[in-house]
Structure 1
Amino acid sequence: MGHSQQDKRKTHERIVEIASKRLREKGLEGVGVADLMKEAGLTVGGFYKHFASRDELVVEAMQAAFGAWTTKVRSEGRAPEDIPLQEYAATYLSGEHRDDTAGGCPFAALTADIARAGERCRSLATDQMKMNLHIMQARINTTDETQARRKAIITSCLMTGALGLARIAKDESLASEILDTVKAFVNEVGTK
């Protein structure tokens, strides 16, 4: 790969990374191409050297957002499915995660936006949801597959909703209570 192709790839990745964060902060419709390119230190005209459309960027940014946690975990030499439920819940339902909208769970940040998004974005989210539920199911302490699946769905929905509600709360005490209550409830589900 030539130097200019390598530079173009790095620039492309930087744009996607910035978009991934800004979309989680401001919503799928809350980020304009001009602002995004300005933040990346590029011109609006340069956008079309990297993407055919804004929708294409949104899909790539969502892929990056969905893969960010797994990439981080794997870089630490761990597999996501090996993280026990209690440890996962402690991290997911933490004040740090609540405050890190830009780097946090895209489902908690963008549920309503994704529901209104185009087919490609919704398909991507559906695939990620299936993978998340599969991993969550492996964390549930039961040999009954139907019961494990049921608990995985309930636990995933509960955690995502709790994080979203804690982000909404302007009362720190209430936000912490939501996270702590759901964390305690999830811990009762048990681990493998």
Structure 2
Amino acid sequence: MGHSQQDKRKTHERIVEIASKRLREKGLEGVGVADLMKEAGLTVGGFYKHFASRDELVAEAMQSAFGSWTEKVRSEGRAPTDITLEEYAASYLSREHRDDTAGGCPFAALTADIARGGERCRSLATDQMQTNLRNMQARTNTTDEAEGRRKAIIASCLMTGALGLARISNDETLASEILDTVKAFVDEFSTK
């Protein structure tokens, strides 16, 4: 790969990374191309050297956001499948995750936006939900497939909803109570 092609790839990745964070912070419609390119240190005209449209960038940024947790775990030298349900819940329902909208779960940050979004984003989200549910099912304590799927759906919905509600609350006590209560409930799935 030539130097300019490698630079272009790195620039493309940087734009996607910035967009992934800003979309989680501000919503799918809350981020403009001009602002993203300025943050990346580039001109708006340079945008079209990397993307055919804003929708293409949004789709790539969503894909990046969906893969960010897996990349983080792997960068720590671990396999995502090695993370227990208790450990996953503790991390997901932590105050650090609650406060890190830009780097956190895109489902908790963007559920309503994705529901109103285009078909491509909804398809990416659906595929990721299926993956998340399979991974969550493997973390439950049951060998019964239907029961494992049920627990995976309940745990995923509870955790995503709890994180979103804890982010909404301007009452720290209530926000902590939400996170702690759901974590304790989800932990029961690995002991019963």
- Which residue does the alignment assign to 1:164? 164
Provide the aligned length of Structure 1 versus Structure 2. 192
Whether 2:56 is the aligned partner of 1:38: answer no
Q: Distance in 2 between matches of 1:57 and 1:172?
A: 35
Matches within 5 A, 1:128-167: 128-167=128-167
CA positional deviation for 1:20: 0.2
User: Which structure 1 residue ranges, 5 or more long, are not aligned?
Assistant: none
Whether 2:58 is the aligned partner of 1:58: answer yes
Q: Distance in 2 between matches of 1:113 and 1:19?
A: 15
Q: Structure 1 pair 43/174, CA: closer, same or farther in 2 (3 Å)?
A: same
CA positional deviation for 1:191: 5.8
Q: Distance in 2 between matches of 1:89 and 1:147?
A: 19
Aligned CA RMSD, in angstroms, stands at 1.0
Q: Deviations over 1:22-56 (max 9, x none)?
A: 00000000000000100000000000000000000
TM-score where L is the length of structure 2: 0.98
Q: Structure 1 pair 187/38, CA: closer, same or farther in 2 (3 Å)?
A: same
- Which residue does the alignment assign to 1:110? 110
Q: Could you say what secondary structure the match of 1:167 adopts? A: helix
Q: Structure 1 pair 94/134, CA: closer, same or farther in 2 (3 Å)?
A: same
CA positional deviation for 1:77: 2.1
Identity of aligned residues (%): 87
Whether 2:6 is the aligned partner of 1:6: answer yes
CA positional deviation for 1:102: 0.1
Q: Distance in 2 between matches of 1:172 and 1:56?
A: 38
Q: Distance in 2 between matches of 1:105 and 1:75?
A: 17
User: Which structure 2 residue ranges, 5 or more long, are not aligned?
Assistant: none
Matches within 5 A, 1:54-133: 54-133=54-133
Q: Structure 1 pair 191/122, CA: closer, same or farther in 2 (3 Å)?
A: farther
Q: Distance in 1 between matches of 2:191 and 2:73?
A: 19
Q: Distance in 2 between matches of 1:26 and 1:35?
A: 12
Whichever residue aligns with residue 70 of structure 2, its letter is: T
Q: Could you say what secondary structure the match of 1:42 adopts? A: coil
TM-score where L is the length of structure 1: 0.98
Q: Deviations over 1:63-122 (max 9, x none)?
A: 100000001111222221221000000000000000000000000000000011111111
Q: Distance in 2 between matches of 1:144 and 1:47?
A: 50
